[in-house]
Amino acid sequence: MPRTRLDHRPKHEHLARLLYGVIHLEGGTIKAASEKIRMSDDTLSRRLKDPGSITLDELVNIGRRLGISIDDLRAAIRY
């Protein structure tokens, strides 16, 4: 019988959930969030699909513009 790995989750799942949750509360669309963050729609959607590709400067910018505390961002990043 094949084995399953039920505990397997993407490395940056917590960060993605935090960002998607805040974006949903702010307006619910990538377009509205990208205007607030001052980032293009394409770039923001690419970053959200792969949160590991977000640079530290972009993450700090997103946190400031969306009102996410630095403690929440630190807690969402897994090493």
Residue-wise pLDDT tens digits, 11-26: 788 998 999 999 898 7
pTM over 0.85: no
User: What tens digit of pLDDT does each residue of 27-50 get?
Assistant: 788 898 888 889 999 999 999 888
CB atoms within 10 A of CB 36: 15
Residue 4 CA to its chain's centroid (Å): 27
- In eight-state DSSP terms, residue 67 is T
